[in-house]
Structure 1
């Protein structure tokens, strides 16, 4: 109990960084996922290449490239920006596939009726296809959000004090790795259980 009382406050503070960075990455992934999904539907080379790259290259390598390789090109990004942007770009590739699956659930009759009413492709996307897809794909989106929260532990490699890095620091300073990582795992579990409750339609 003494260990928990001492270690919990800094871990909760670091967990706040994890939640913030994960939330921004998920939001960015959703926003970028829509045009990428539309591009994949149209078999656009840029969209297909994007999805193939970000789904095929491990997130850890993507983080390394963003933080360590871009400075060689004259692009020096702050650690938090590189981590959040990389997380969001990676998330967008997976969200695009989820959104594309949601688009497949929209009935063709409804789309044909919308075209007959004179709606433009953009209006059909925003008013019909996207709302129906978002409603149908909520469990898949929450599942991806849980994966992103867990994957955010990798951003510790670029020096950001998130939950996993906080646990590493506490384990190193106290020489008690087992309780440090057990507490870290319990906090991750609590965050993801809240997301699962939201996926089931219960208030968090």
Structure 2
């Protein structure tokens, strides 16, 4: 079998635009996921606040226990049943962001729990409030421990973003499927798409590795 990449090269601008959309969707979902993950992770650290802990636990349990594709379909196809019609991009970002947030929350909770409690007690003894202790003492130390698992989650998020093509978002996968529909060169297109995803995940891993080294030196 002869490989023919000419249809891919002829429509490389579409793949480039799709890759940019993938980066855009992933970046917005990443920011949302980190914000939610931080709040939920902190909420699951204190069991004395039962309502907050319970709500955060239900959220994490549901999101981690159901497929991402089903969650995206609920946003895109389910909400219109209640008269709420959101743009495909919004559904994709919300779905990916909430999905990532559940996993980021466990990373945050685990990293903070790994910091010796004496650090918190020492900060309180120095006159810091509980919030100041968390922000100035605990979180900076926990952040260094979060980077490796967060890197894995960020890379997984880039790969999972391919699912938003099913919501009619013109991301990298969607543009690749458009090329296949007219050229019928599925293997060639998927190989190029895979290489682009590999480039995106490799760049992300390199940036996070450099940032981790910088944090360790400070």
Q: How does 1:58-137 map to 2 (within 5 A)?
A: 58-137=67-146
Query: For residues 73 and 40 of structure 2, what CA distance do their matches in structure 1 show?
Result: 24
TM-score by length of 2: 0.89
Match of 2:216 in 1: none
Match of 1:40 among 40, 44, 60: 44
Match of 2:209 among 187, 200, 203: 200
Does the CA contact (< 8 Å) of 1:40 and 1:48 recur in 2?
A: yes
Does the CA contact (< 8 Å) of 1:7 and 1:180 recur in 2?
A: no
Higher deviation after alignment, 54-63 or 101-110: 101-110
Q: How many Å apart are 1:74 and its aligned residue?
A: 2.1
Q: How many Å apart are 1:38 and its aligned residue?
A: 1.2
The superposition leaves residues 95-147 of structure 1 with CA deviations (integer Å, 9 ceiling, x where unpaired) of: 00011111023222211011112222221222122221112211111110000
The superposition leaves residues 170-200 of structure 1 with CA deviations (integer Å, 9 ceiling, x where unpaired) of: 0111111111111100100111111121232
Does the CA contact (< 8 Å) of 1:25 and 1:85 recur in 2?
A: yes
Does the CA contact (< 8 Å) of 2:40 and 2:105 recur in 1?
A: yes
Matched, 1:169 2:178: yes
Query: For residues 59 and 130 of structure 2, what CA distance do their matches in structure 1 show?
Result: 23
Query: For residues 166 and 7 of structure 2, what CA distance do their matches in structure 1 show?
Result: 26
Matched, 1:29 2:36: no
Moved over 2 A (4+): 1-5
User: Which sections of structure 2, spanning at least 5 residues, go unmatched?
Assistant: 48-52, 214-218
User: Which sections of structure 1, spanning at least 5 residues, go unmatched?
Assistant: none
Higher deviation after alignment, 132-141 or 82-91: 132-141
Question: Match of 2:114, SS?
Answer: coil
Does the CA contact (< 8 Å) of 1:33 and 1:95 recur in 2?
A: yes
Query: For residues 66 and 31 of structure 2, what CA distance do their matches in structure 1 show?
Result: 21
Query: In angstroms, what is the RMSD of aligned CA positions?
Result: 1.5
Q: How many Å apart are 1:55 and its aligned residue?
A: 0.6
Match of 2:159 among 150, 161, 169: 150
Question: Match of 1:75, SS?
Answer: coil
Does the CA contact (< 8 Å) of 1:22 and 1:148 recur in 2?
A: yes
The total of aligned residue pairs comes to 203
The superposition leaves residues 5-61 of structure 1 with CA deviations (integer Å, 9 ceiling, x where unpaired) of: 213221011000001100111111111111101111123100110100111111100
